[in-house]
Structure 1
Amino acid sequence: MSMATSANNEIGAAAADQPDQALDAIGRKYHSRMRTVDASSDSLSDGVVVPALREAIVEGVLAPGSRLSEVQIAKQLNVSRTPMREAFAQLEREGLVTIVARVGAFVRSVTLRDVAEIYTVRTALECLAVRLAAERINALGRAQLDDVIEAMQASVEAEDPAGYVDALDRFYSIVMTLADNRTLQATHASLIGPVRRLRRIAMARGGRMRSSCEQAVRIKDAIVAGDPEVETLMREQLRGACEAATEVLNQSEQ
């Protein structure tokens, strides 16, 4: 078992027990990734607090509408309160947190408007990305895509949606690297939190994980072949994801 798998299992077990324990586990994971113990407040914010809270929100450990206490979260993540404010501001920019003046920070709920807007932007960015990737594909890129598709298929067979979405994140990261456009990469990265959150919501619909994987294989094959139809395939993938996320949210409101 890899260290990443072990950490994810620990987090999953803790989440099933208590959210506080799950956040503790997430915090330990990101602390272990820090290269230095004597880190500055800025590096703790970027390296521990932001990614830990982002993951906790995306995975539902921190429920929509819940208040984020600077004191409590700093204690759980084993950091001082100094990096907390900047971390909350960053997560607000990502659309994951709402800050109310003189009241505090709260986990932002996902709305149907969020779904429509984010998938509209994703369609523009990711259709461009796969077209550029198909034009610039190389031997290393082909090997990386084959490897990540294999991981995605293994997660589907294991009925492991968390593992599947992690692999899907890696698939898109590889596509963005192959596209080799820094402005495109930076713009896409700014949506990382909301995009991952919606992916996990969409996977809650029965059969979505398998259909997503099958379409990803088609997209991969089109990139490798340099097929200009890859944009159409990506548009279909995102249309299906948008419909799945919308359906899940509609059902949750009933």
Structure 2
Amino acid sequence: MDLSKIAQPELFKDQAYKEIKKAIISYSIEPGAMLSERSLSDSLGISRTPLKLALQQLEVEGWVMSVPRKGIFVKEITESDVREVFELRRANEVLVVELLIPLLNEETLHQIEAKYKELIDEQHDAFKVVQLDSEFHLYLAELSQNRRLHQLIKNLTDHFQWFGMAALKSGKSLEEITQEHGSIIEALRLRDVAVAKKAVLLHLDNTYHSIRQNLQN
């Protein structure tokens, strides 16, 4: 289990929460796994009290569940979870494209392309690619200048990354992810709303089908 030691006492609970959630999202701790408080406490280098508080927060947010007389388990990803998140993604990211394209200039296009280059440069690291994928879409939302839309997408980012790792588990390639983002950028550079929407939806739909394949397997 790859968890970082926590250094500052006043942040024990918050950092334990972040480390465990990161491990869940990256599949270092897989869906359905039982969590041992003793093992987590030793790995993180903290006492049980802040750890319990961190696990309580994770349970409230739906990342883990406590089963009486059995223990605490990482939640399984369900088809309904994935469907709900991707329904929101499709609707919100189409709106991002509609709002963004009239605002595009050479400077913003250069910034978007810089984000894309980061993605290409990290193709060897699956978790990093998934993180950068989410950051790319979040950045487009930020550039759309709709603060509430940006916040809506930001609120779903952790689940984007968790599900994205599930897509890679099913065989979706890192190269495929970068190619799909390249198509989105080409459409943005053309200022073609219809083509950009199509490229975004193709990327989302391909990822959605890969995740479903992982769940079925």
Match of 2:147? 182
Matched residues in 2 for 1:188 and 1:88: separation? 25
CA RMSD after TM alignment: 2.7
For the residues of structure 1 that align with 2:88 and 2:105, how far apart are their CA atoms?
Answer: 27
Per-residue CA distance 1:84-143 (angstroms, 9 max, x = gap): 344334433543212346765320111222222221122122222233232333555323
Distance in 1 (alpha carbons) for counterparts of 2:92 and 2:63: 20
- Counterparts of residues 37-48 of structure 1 (less than 5 Å): 38=8, 40=10, 43-46=11-14, 48=15
Paired AA for residue 199 in structure 2: L
Residue in 1 that maps onto 2:40: 73
Q: Partner letter of residue 96 of structure 1?
A: W
Count of residue correspondences: 216
Q: Residue 248 of structure 1 corresponds to which residue in structure 2?
A: 214
Is contact 1:94–1:193 with CA below 8 Å preserved after alignment? no
- Structure 2 unaligned blocks of 5 or more: none
Between the two structures, name the one with larger relative contact order (CA 8 Å, sep ≥ 6): 2
SS at match of 2:82: helix
Match of 1:218 among 172, 183, 187: 183
Measured after TM superposition, the shift of residue 56 of structure 1 is: 0.7
Task: Report sequence identity in percent.
Answer: 25
Alignment equivalent of 1:61, drawn from 25, 28, 33: 28
Q: TM-score, normalised by structure 1?
A: 0.72
Q: CA–CA distance in 2 between the matches of 1:111 and 1:231?
A: 27
Name the residue aligned to 1:238.
Answer: 204
Unpaired segments ≥5 residues, structure 1: 1-18, 32-36
2:128 to 153, 163, 177: 163
- State the partner residue of 2:157: 192
Query: Structure 1 runs of 4+ off > 4 angstroms?
Result: 101-104
User: Using a 3 Å threshold, how does the CA distance of structure 1 residues 121 and 92 change in structure 2: closer, same or farther?
Assistant: farther
Q: TM-score under structure 2 normalisation?
A: 0.83
